[in-house]
Amino acid sequence: MMNQYETVFIVTPVLSDDQVKEAVAKFKKVLTDAGAEILKEENWGLKKLAYPIKHKTTGFYNLIEFKAEGSVINTLETQFRRDEKIIRFLTYKMDKHAIAYSDKKKKLKNEEASN
């Protein structure tokens, strides 16, 4: 059964924009190779962390929303742990309320873009 997930990960701030894009593309490829369907991707940019992580006070935040089998999460999180560019990550299984909210937000964004 396909569940809907969102994952937020923080990329180390010492990388260039191209290197950050490569890192994001790598994790999108991990998902698509495992049979996941990517629904939404957001780059939140460089933000200050609430507390230092690995002596870093900022990081590039990224969000990917996707549908996948539960087994895909283990593969994705293993790749996050192995990559030294990732300083933190969190993957969340969305419930029906979170999915409805996300769909509503997408619809509003599309309406604003068309106006």
- For residue 30, the domain's CATH number is 3.30.70.60
* CA separation for the pair 54, 43 (Å, rounded): 22
- Domain extent at residue 60: 3-114
* CA separation for the pair 98, 5 (Å, rounded): 10
| CB environment 88-115: b (16+ within 10 A), e (fewer) | bbebeebeeeebeebeeeeeeeeeeeee
Report percent pLDDT > 90 for the chain. 77
Number of domains in the chain: 1
- pLDDT level of residue 69 (50, 70, 90 thresholds): very high
Q: Is the pLDDT of residue 101 over 80?
A: yes
Q: Tell me how far the alpha carbon of residue 8 is from its chain's centroid.
A: 4
Q: Is the pLDDT of residue 111 over 90?
A: no
| For residues 89-103, average pLDDT | 90
- pTM of the model as a whole: 0.87
